[in-house]
Amino acid sequence: MDKREFLKSSGVILTGSLLQRYVSAEAQTDRTNWAGNYTYHAKNLLSPKTTEEVQAAVKSCATLKALGARHSFNGIADNPLNQISLKQMDSIALDEKARTVTVGAGVTYGLLAPYIDGKGYALHNLASLPHISVVGACSTATHGSGNKNGNLSTAVSGLEFITADGEVKTLSRQKDGERFHGAVVGLGGLGVITKITVDVQPTYQVGQAVYENLSIAQLEKHLDEIFASGYSVSLFTDWQNHRITQVWIKRRIEPGTMQKWAPEFFGAPMAMKKLHPITGHSAESCTEQGGVPGPWYERLPHFKMNFTPSSGAELQTEYFVPRDKGYEAILAVEELRDQITPHLFVTELRTIEADDLWMSMAYKRPSLAIHFTWKPEWPVVKEILPQIEAKLAPFNTRPHWAKLFTVPQPRLKQLYAKMPDYQALVGEYDPKGKFRNEFLNTNIFG
Ligand SMILES: Cc1cc2nc3c(=O)[nH]c(=O)nc-3n(C[C@H](O)[C@H](O)[C@H](O)COP(=O)(O)OP(=O)(O)OC[C@H]3O[C@@H](n4cnc5c(N)ncnc54)[C@H](O)[C@@H]3O)c2cc1C
């Protein structure tokens, strides 16, 4: 079947240059997400190069979903017929006066960070890996760590997107108040974002040190202090022996100062060699440790840009609880340790500052996030998740939108006070549900 015939059969009407940038399912190589646990159903992939082409693509499709860098673990970026990838829209425009940078939707943090650093600027935080797109990450409230660091979406100050009727819309933090707060963590529901503007600040250096074997008992009295011991702090555990296997502390180094690292941290000794968060894995792919100062973007992520991050085939889940209930929540999960550990690569605990973004997991709540990197054993993992969710239910836990969870929609609705407003906002920009998919229908619209 030739291109035109195939498109006709799947209800897509493309003309001109966009026709050249269409790929049918048979011709696509990357039909799974990054982890390989989810195969996209979309038959067609559109790869526009310009805003006009995005508009034409949106107009031509009755149903469509934007795809970022494919790092989500569920069907949040899927569509039964059409996906659109803006990978080729990779412009970067720094506005030094406004202290912002505006990027095309194809830009990843790995591309953006060295560019702005070279011009003397930085972002406030990064996730554990730089391979994700800025738009895809901010659409799902992706976060790093740090008591005073909001998730990556909190840096967003402007959006340009194409609504269901093919119109270009812009929203900004300055002009659009609550509507903007509703749109930033948009879960791909409002339209296809073509450009995103984020805040920048003067560049800074970070040193990172790792300590081993911290007793979980230390968290009872010192959880806040431990997470405040650096600009960004991550605790890793396998849930055995009532201990945190590794503490990763990332500290900002102010110009002209030297960072002193104590040989011990709440009874945990500093690691004598570079470590991977998963015990026994090679640390070659990890960012520099031992307190050696380096640019923010080479220390805030755990993994280097040029290496395959983490362990490859894996599953992830993550639950957000109020930070002041963090210790109790950790103990509640620990009760399941013997079910969890055999199927786990590693758990990571991080903190996130509260924010005002309606669909953010940290909405109005300083949070502790309890993350699980699982072995690719979905049949077992899917039995464990409801047990963890039951243990965490008393803490009103919110699951990460881009990872795996089983919390049902009525419960999600209770956890997000602004969900009805978000539903209304989606309805305004997309009245016929062009950008809705199974994920949104199940978890948001119920
Ligand atoms: C190894 C690994 C490590 C991770 N580490 C972290 C971490 O440290 N912290 C954390 O919070 N998360 C983490 N994640 C999860 C990851 O940050 C999220 O899945 C993120 O959404 C991925 O972005 P993406 O560019 O791959 O987008 P995708 O997964 O492709 O899409 C995500 C969402 O964004 C929407 N979207 C993408 N582009 C557009 C667009 N142009 N317009 C409108 N909507 C769009 C999609 O429709 C979808 O709803 C990790 C994932 C992996 C695989």
Q: Tell how far the Cα of 153 is from the centroid of ligand 1, in angstroms.
A: 12
- Closest residue to atom 32 of ligand 1, CA basis: 136
Ligand 1 pocket test: pick from 142, 185, 233, 318 the residue with the most ligand atoms within 8 Å of its Cβ. Answer: 142
Q: Tell how far the Cα of 145 is from the centroid of ligand 1, in angstroms.
A: 17
Residue 139: the pLDDT is: 98
Q: Tell how far the Cα of 268 is from the centroid of ligand 1, in angstroms.
A: 34
SS3 403: coil
Q: Tell how far the Cα of 138 is from the centroid of ligand 1, in angstroms.
A: 8
Beta bridge partners of 373: 316, 346
Ligand 1 atom, smallest distance to 71 CA: 26
Is the distance from the beta carbon of residue 198 to the nearest atom of ligand 1 less than 6 Å? no
Tokens 């085939």 — which residue? 313
In contact, 406 and 387? CB cutoff 8 Å: no
Spatial CB neighbours of 8, under 8 Å, sequence gap ≥ 6: none
In contact, 137 and 244? CB cutoff 8 Å: no
Burial 238-260 (b: 16+ CB within 10 A, else e): bbeeebbbbbbbbbbbeeeeebe
- Closest residue to atom 29 of ligand 1, CA basis: 72
Is the distance from the beta carbon of residue 134 to the nearest atom of ligand 1 less than 6 Å? no
Which tokens go with 345? 């690569």
In contact, 289 and 209? CB cutoff 8 Å: yes
Count Cβ atoms below 10 Å from residue 23 Cβ, excluding itself: 15
- Closest residue to atom 52 of ligand 1, CA basis: 71
Which tokens go with 274? 């570079």
Residue 15: the pLDDT is: 63
157: phi then psi, degrees, rounded to nearest 5: -120, -5
Q: Tell how far the Cα of 118 is from the centroid of ligand 1, in angstroms.
A: 25
Which tokens go with 178? 């609550």
Q: Tell how far the Cα of 68 is from the centroid of ligand 1, in angstroms.
A: 7
Type of residue numbered 386: P
Is the distance from the beta carbon of residue 64 to the nearest atom of ligand 1 less than 6 Å? no
Q: How far apart are CA 113 and CA 128, in angstroms?
A: 14
Residues of the chain with pLDDT under 50: 1, 9, 310-311
Tokens 């991550």 — which residue? 234
Q: Count the helix, strand and coil residues of the chain and give each as a percent rounded to the nearest 5.
A: 30, 25, 45
Is the distance from the beta carbon of residue 399 to the nearest atom of ligand 1 less than 6 Å? no
Residue 25: the pLDDT is: 59
Q: Tell how far the Cα of 76 is from the centroid of ligand 1, in angstroms.
A: 9
Ligand 1 pocket test: pick from 107, 123, 140, 151 the residue with the most ligand atoms within 8 Å of its Cβ. Answer: 140
Give the count of alpha carbons within 13 A of 397, CB side only.
31
Is the distance from the beta carbon of residue 67 to the nearest atom of ligand 1 less than 6 Å? yes
Q: Tell how far the Cα of 94 is from the centroid of ligand 1, in angstroms.
A: 23
Q: Tell how far the Cα of 422 is from the centroid of ligand 1, in angstroms.
A: 19
Ligand 1 atom, smallest distance to 127 CA: 8
